[in-house]
Each structure stands twice: as structure tokens, then as C-alpha cells.
Amino acid sequence: MKDIFDVAGRCVLVTGASSGIGRHAARMFASRGAKVAVAARRTDRLDALVAEIIKTGGQALAVALDVADGAAVEKAIDTVERELAPIDILINNAGTTWSRPILEHTPTDFAKVIDVNLNGAFYVAHAVARRMAAREASLPPGGGSIVNITSVAAIRTMIRTPAYNASKAGLAHLTRMLAMELAPHRIRVNSIAPGLFITELSQDYVHTERGKAMLAKIPMGRAARDEEMDGPMLLLASDAGSYLSGAEIVIDGAVACAR
């Protein structure tokens, strides 16, 4: 019986792959036989990740990428498709945040987060989708897949992070718009909204009083483990999700249910 979750031989681009969810996703896809391109600004970490994947028998390529730079996005994707393979799956994960009381935020603070989380996500999705559409007949049976990583902050407002809330909510709605327009080209676009995962962005926060209070409000009583992204991500990336587009999967231990 065919494994509909099989991604072996497919080319996956993971942005924001130098740490956290992106790094874990790259390892997971590589372990399942995918060719993995990892992109981020911190290339030293990418090189170490690629070396690790290759050592275990996988295929990987590191590309330096600032997603907020549209020209750099085009160059990086050209490099991936020339040196590794045409992209079948995009895990659009690069993100940043800035936390401080709203009255202390500056326009520059706000713009920097929007540039990465919303503008950058669009630049990457748009560039990948154009290339997928140009070869739609040769895409996998379930079509090309773009998975945008949003956040539970797209659903429930978090204090002190106005740009993060706005950018992730915007990306969630952009996902639905892209799904509608790209469906005729055999390209599926979905989103995953993680709750509290322990990553570099959150590891200090969870030890603060506010972080402890947030943990206490999670109905399942704990933060998420990295591997708990695997099932939803594989569903959306593989042929198992061939009729899923415009969907949002929330992985937050039931936090959003209490809104």
C-alpha cells in the first residue's frame, strides 16, 4: 500500500532553519528522504545543520537568506533550484518578534517585524509559487505545497507584541487568499499556528512571571514538543493533504479554544 505521507525525493525549502521549528522541520524532512534546502541569515548554523544531515545519509543545501530582501529571495531560490532541485514544498517559517509595552514601541520596531514576518513570507511564497506554476504539470501528484507558519497570536491577541500579532494575523489571511488564487495551478497553501514551543524566541520568556502564567493557562498543562509539529506538517506537505488548501491547523494544547 502506498504511503500517502511519503516525501522521499521531493525538494523542501525551509526558511528560518537556523533554530527552533525550522531546524527541527529540516531534520524531519531529511530523515524521510527529502532533499532539504535550509535558509536563514546565520549561515554558520546552517552549515552545521547541513553537515549533520549529510552525515546521516541525507541531501541538504544551505543558502544565506534575509527574507525581507526581495532580491535576495529570488537569488536564493534560484540557487536552490539550480544546485539541489526544483522546490516541491515550502515551509515558510522565518520570523522574529519584539516585546515591549505598546507605548514604548517605535515605528521602526513595528516595521522590522512586519518586514520579516509578513512581507518576507510573501516574498518567499510568491517567488516559489511562480516557479511551481511554471512547471505545474511536473509537480507531485498532490500538487506543490506551501505551508506558512503563523502563530496562535494570529487568533488570540498577546500583549506587548503588536507587530507580531498583526503580522501573523495578516499571514493567516494571506494564506487563504493565496490558496484561492493558486489552486488552479495545482499549488496548495495552508498554515500552521503553533502555540508555545520552547525555541530561542521563547526560551527566556517561559522563565519570566508572564511566561509561567502563560504556561499555567494552557489546558494541556505544558508547552509543545518539537516533534508535535511533524504530523500536521507532513499532512500539509505530502499527498495526504491533496485536497487541503486554505486550512489552518492550530497546535496549541487547546489554548485558542478558550478565546
Q: Where are the alpha helices (DSSP H) in the chain?
A: 20-31, 43-55, 70-83, 107-114, 121-134, 162-182, 209-216, 230-237
**Residue 164 appears among annotated catalytic residues:** yes
Separation between Cα atoms, residue 247 and residue 109, nearest integer Å:
30
- Look at phi and psi of residue 221 and say left if phi exceeds 0, alpha if psi is from -120 to 50, else beta: left
Q: Output DSSP code: residue 67.
A: T
- Please enumerate in sequence order all residues whose Cβ is within 8 A of that of 102, keeping only pairs 6 or more positions apart, or say none: 159, 160, 162
Angle, vertex CA 63, rays to CA 88 and CA 6, nearest 5: 30
**Contact present, 250 and 259 (Cβ < 8 Å):** no
SS3 category, 197: strand
**Contact present, 88 and 144 (Cβ < 8 Å):** yes
Give the cell for residue 195: 502555540
SS3 category, 191: strand
- In the set 123, 164, 205, 243, the catalytic residue is 164
Catalytically active residues are 164
